[in-house]
Every structure is written in C-alpha cells, then in structure tokens.
Chains A and B, each alone.
Chain A
Amino acid sequence: MTTSTPAPASTPVLSSTPVLEAVDLVRRFGPVTAVDHVSLRIEPGQTFGLLGPNGAGKTTTISMICGLLSPDGGSVHVAGVPMAQEPLAAKRRLGLVPQDLAVYPEISARQNLTFFGRLQGLHGAELRTRVGEVLELVGLSDRAKEPSKKFSGGMKRRLNIGIGLLHHPDLLVLDEPTVGVDPQSRNAILESVEALAGQGMAVLYTTHYMEEAQRLCDRVAIVDDGRVQAEGTQDELIELTGGVDTIVLSGGGDVAAAEVSLRGIPVVQKVARDGNHLRLVVQNAPTAVAGVVRTVSDAGMNLSDVVIQRPDLESVFLHLTGKALRD
C-alpha cells in the first residue's frame, strides 16, 4: 500500500476531548452477559488495541460503539458526541472496518467508494478527490474499474478498509481486519494502519493476535469473558506480571501428565497447555528451567524444544486469566 496526506477532518476534535469515551457498557443476550461494564477511552492520534480471544466480547463492544447495538447499560461518546442522543452526528465521526467483508461484489471499487462516500455526505469534486486518494492509499488505483468480486481476498480487505477511511473519520474502528488473510496482505494491512496512525488518526483495533497488538498499539485493553481484565501501555501491562518470565515447552509423549506435574512445582506460577505445547509463567526462568525440564521428563513428556521468553502480552493474558490467548 502507499500513503497519502489525509484531508483535514471537517470538524477538528479538541485536544482535550477524547475521540472515544465508552463508559460502563453492558450488553446481555438472554442469560449471557456478553459485555460486562466495559469502559474505554481513546485520545486523538492514539492506536488502541482490544486484545482478547474469540468470544471475549470484542465485536459486541465495537457494535455498541458504532451504534449497531443498543447497550443495556452505559454510554458511548464519539468525539464528544453522544451516540444514544445524536447517532447520526456520532456516526459521522467514526469509520468502521467490519471483520467480514462489507463491499458490493457486483460493482467496482470506485463505485463502492462513491456510493458509501455519498452516504457519508461527500459529493461533487470533494467526493471524486477523496475516492481517488483512498484508491491510491489502499493500492487499488489500477483496478478501480473492475467489479470487486474479481479481486483477491487481500484486495477486498483493502477495499473494505478504504471504505472506512473515506470520510476521514476521527476514529477508525478495525474489527480483526487480518482474519483469514495471507501473510503478504496481512503485512500490507498492518503497514497501512501504522501509516494512518502516523498521520494522527485515532484507531481502535480489535485482534486476538498478540503480535499485532504489540506492533500497532499505544495502549491495549485485555478483554476476556466480556470484561476488561487490564488496560494500559504495553510496559504497564507487562509490569502487572511482576516481571515473571515465560517458558514454552514443546514435545510429545505424555504432555497431560507433565502439565499436572508442573502444577506441583512452587516456582511455576501458571501453566497453560496448547496442544503439544506447555506455556509456564515462572519467577526466574534461567534458574527454574532445569527443574522444569527434569519434572516433565519424569512425567513422560519427550521434549523437542524449550524456549525462554521475556514477558509479553501473551504472558500478561496468561497471568491475568490463566488461559492462553488462543484457547
């Protein structure tokens, strides 16, 4: 993807006004509470990550933020505009890139952008200019006249993002934009998000990929079971682990028995199993690793690899929830 200088927002957000302020959001589906008192605050120019496994409540949260679902409790303000009282004005301030593709397959990329641009209130020369800029930004200028059904998956994803950017929103909401995308397109999408953030656009980015949150986000909220488990900068979150390390054990044999044995060692604070991998949170990995290896070997696990990791968001998630991020 290439980048271009964005047009200024029609109504600049005051620096003191958060681009998004969601307070105590609650949403229930029957007996299930999908979102349980979630509060988020995003400042102008910030890239904010919502990190959590599938089913954590991320999509329901942004559905309420974008005005697609009415919350059972709490409030949403976009650039100071209340979503409940002034939905049209609030929606004008944000752009959504949904997880599933949301483009008309029978019409071209340019026609898709023009149609959604008109609904955003753009018209005439302004609309034509902005459509051209976005086509350039998402790297589809050469294919602008082709029906989008002829595009590759990655190209459709880029068009999907372009539609969200078209009216130059104060807040761009991206819901798992790299799910099901090949590595090359994924990297292109991440680069374009970095470029937008570099231009000062506030971004709310949901993902269950720890490495994407680490790469893109200034602040991250870790969500699980519909609740924000922790929120802060990456350093602040890692501090929550108390400086613990992670040991990842891989191998065959009796992995389940090894997991049970490890729970009995005092230096091991948490254990999570992911197939033939065991992820341990320990206080001091270099000194603990010898005892850990001996324990799993005695339990019948045939080790093929041992990796010691510095604390990362995965470790934080494990520390906070006792689960691996992809459980």
Chain B
Amino acid sequence: MRTLLVLVARDLRQHVSDRSVLLFGLLIPFALSYVFNLAFSGLDDPQLGEVAVVVSAPTGDPAADAVVGTLGALADQGIPVTVLEAGPGEVADLVASGEADLGVTVPEGFGAAVAAGEGARVELAQGADTGLAADVVSGIVTATVQRLDADAATVAGAAGAGLDEAALGALAADLAAAAPQVEWAERTVAGEQLGLAGGIVAGQAGMFLFFTVGFAVLALLTEREWGTLPRLRTMPIPAWQIPFAKAVVGLILGTVSTSVLLASGQLLFDGVDFGWWPAVLVLVVATVAAATSVIALVVRYARTAEQASLLMSVIAISLGVTGGTFFRVPTDGLVGTLLQVNPVAALVRGLGITAGGGGIPDLAPVLLTLLAFTLVILVLARLVPGRKDAL
C-alpha cells in the first residue's frame, strides 16, 4: 500500500504541475459552458412580446363583452395586450397593414344568437410573422368562444327538456359566472430534464471528464515511451499497482475537476442548481469510474501515446455529442435507450434527477447503468490482447 501511495503521489504532483490538465479539465469546459450559455440563453424561457389586438364588437352584448374581457385579463398572465377598437370593416385592413397583430370581429347580435342556439361566427384575423404571443392570444380567444358555445348548447338542451324561462335564465347566469372546474398546476418531480444552462454545464463536464481522466491513465503509455514503465516493473512492487495507481489518479482528477466545474456552473450561471451535493458527488464518482474504464480499454488497444490521445479524443467527442453535450438527444425508443447507456448521457440524466430534488435512491437506475457500463468495458479491456513489454 505504501508503494501505491508513492506512485499516486508522484503522478498527482506531475499532473498538478501540468497545464494541460488545468486547461482541459477546467478552463476549456468552463469557457465553452459560458459561451454556449450566452449563445442560447433565453431559449428555454421565452419572453412573450406585446400583442396589438383590434376588436370590433357590438356594445351592450354580454357575450361579446366576455370575449373582449378575456383579452384584457391576459396581462395578468404575462402577455401584454393592447386592445384597439374599430368598426367591422376596418379590422382586416388594420391587421393587413401591420398596425395590429390580431383582429377579432364579433358580429352584431352575437349574444342573442348564441343564447338562442342559432349559431354565430366570430372572425379572427392574424397577421403574418406575428410570433408566439399572437398565437397564444388567438388560442385563448378561440377557447373563450368555444366555451360560450358549450354554455349555449347546455342552455338549449335545458330548454328542450322543458325548463321554464326563469330557470333557464338562472342556469345561463351560473354558467357565465362559473370558474373552470378543471385546473392544471406545474410541479417539479425527480427525473425531469435539466434546464438549458444546467444541461450545457453538465454536458461539458461530462465530455471533458474523458480528457482529464485520459491524461492520468494515458500516462502509462508516456511512461512506456520514457522507458520508466519497464523500470517500474523491475521494482519490488506488485505488478497490478502500476496501472491501478494511474486509475486512482484518474478518479481523483476526474472527480475534482468535474465537481469544480459543476459547482462553478451552479454559482455563476443563472437558474443552475444541481440539487443535493452528496448525491451529485456519488453520481460524479460513478461517471468518472465509467470514463476510467473507457480509457483503460484505449490503453490496452493503443500502441503509442499519440494513437491513444487520438482515440481518446474521438471517443470523448462521440460520447459527448451522443450524450447531449451540444444538443438534447432522444430518451425514448430503442435509440434513446441505447444512448442512455452513454456515461455522459447518464451524468446529464442523473443531474436532472438531483436537480429535481432526487436523492441517491432516485439515482439508482442511473448508477446501475454506469456500474454495468464500467464492468462491461473492463471485461472488454481484459479481453483485448495486451502488449508484452520487455525492455
């Protein structure tokens, strides 16, 4: 054990003084996270612009007032709406000229027609390229008209059933005043996806983790080129300690750099919170172990440090891209299931769980995925014919 510590301490000292580890382990991923965050900020929380709506509606018609009143209430929902009044013949022109984004024409006798079950036609005109806010307003007006239509159908049905005029009036008044019986509410649950900024930070951390671990483990090949590897193998130490020391250094460097990156992202970027840190650390260690197994496979396969570095870069970028470093990847279907085996994807998914309030038990599927991945790759690494190093 003493000699293992000697080996680990020497490698750690070397890597700490090596700028490449600092560069690829911390600075580049953080800089990329910053740049991507700047480039894509706001995409996952769109701000709705102001909508100008020109309305033509008969005065003294309660049903028409209900439609127009809906527009006025939208400001409370975060959609600023400016309502312009116009005559029936002016609505289309104002929308066509761009002075209004949306035109609503409620015909004369709208309320009476609805109440009599005779049917009525409300016209909506939407300008070209008016954006998301106008779409939302259009949808809300449509829904309001449909509700009025449903109310009218209810009243008509009641009249058909023989209700007297007083009772019909009371029913119509109740329907008009009734609040929606079905409500929806948003609730945060474990397993949700990370927000855009959190996803960027997690993805970058996951991809660059492979480089950090790679520097530590690929030092084995550098030592082979320096000639120090055969010399180490003539030392009175168990042979397994030499590669194991590199793996331990990889675990330490990978865990520290990934944790620092995630913590920095949480501190410096708006809206990023990865949740309960003990769970995050368990997830990070499991991911680093998976990355270490991949690099161990590379070491077994590669013949030179240069070849290994190239392979490592290809693998890191491939796993990063398919793991959601640069864009979100599908999570359902066969492809989605296969992609979830990717350690980078598993890290991003796991951080989504912790960010949603999940703890270590909630991470179990992700941790088991990472453990299975690590074991399979280690077995593969054992099966790859290794080098027979002589002097």
Contacts and interface: CB of A to CB of B under 8 A. Distances in A.
Contact of B236 (A91, A100, A163): A91
A68 B228 contact: no
A39 B230 CA distance: 23
Indicate the member of A66, A68, A92 with the most B CB atoms within 10 Å.
A68
A115 interface: yes
Contacts of A96: 231, 234, 391
A157 to B, nearest CB: 12
A68 B233 contact: yes
Contacts of A107: 14
Given A98-B230, A98-B231, A102-B231, A119 B237 contact: yes
A312 interface: no
Contact of B228 (A62, A69, A102, A118): A102
B15 to A, nearest CB: 11
Nearest to B3: A119
Contact of A60 (B3, B7, B233, B390): B390
Contact of A88 (B226, B232, B236): B236
Interface residues of B, number: 22
Contacts of B10: 104, 115
Contacts of B238: 88
B227 A98 contact: yes
Interface string B69-94: 00000000000000000000000000
A13 interface: no
B391 A63 contact: yes
Interface residues of A, number: 33
B233 A101 contact: no
Nearest to B17: A106
Indicate the member of B10, B14, B236 with the most A CB atoms within 10 Å.
B236
Contacts of A91: 234-236
Contact of A163 (B7, B231, B390): B231
A88 B17 CA distance: 32
B187 interface: no
Nearest to A67: B234
A62 B228 CA distance: 16
Contacts of A251: none
Contacts of A102: 226-228, 230-231
Contact of B389 (A68, A94, A116, A163): A68
B173 interface: no
A103 B389 CA distance: 17
A66 B234 contact: yes
Contacts of A99: 391
A309 B7 CA distance: 53
A59 B391 CA distance: 7
Contact of A118 (B3, B226, B227): B3
Contacts of A100: 227, 391
B388 interface: yes
B230 A119 contact: no
Interface in A107-155: 107, 115-116, 118-121
A240 interface: no
B221 to A, nearest CB: 15
Interface in B222-252: 226-228, 230-238
Contacts of A67: 233-234
Contacts of B231: 96, 98, 102, 116, 163
A63 B17 CA distance: 33
Interface in A189-236: none
Interface string B354-380: 000000000000000000000000000
B246 to A, nearest CB: 15
A211 to B, nearest CB: 23
A102 B391 CA distance: 10
B233 A62 contact: no
Given A100-B227, A119-B3, A69 B388 contact: yes
A43 interface: no
A89 B238 CA distance: 11
B226 to A, nearest CB: 7
B178 interface: no
B166 interface: no
B43 interface: no
Indicate the member of B10, B14, B232, B391 with the most A CB atoms within 10 Å.
B391
Interface in A22-68: 59-60, 62-63, 66-68
A114 B233 CA distance: 17
B6 interface: yes
A66 B17 CA distance: 33
Contacts of B234: 66-68, 91, 94, 96
10 contacts: A62-B391, A63-B390, A99-B391, A100-B391, A102-B231, A104-B226, A118-B3, A118-B6, A119-B237, A120-B236
Identify the 3 closest CB pairs spanning chains A and B, nearest first. A102-B227, A102-B231, A100-B227
Given A59-B390, A59-B391, A116-B231, 14 more contacts: A67-B233, A68-B230, A68-B234, A68-B391, A69-B390, A89-B236, A96-B391, A98-B391, A103-B227, A103-B228, A105-B226, A107-B14, A116-B235, A163-B231
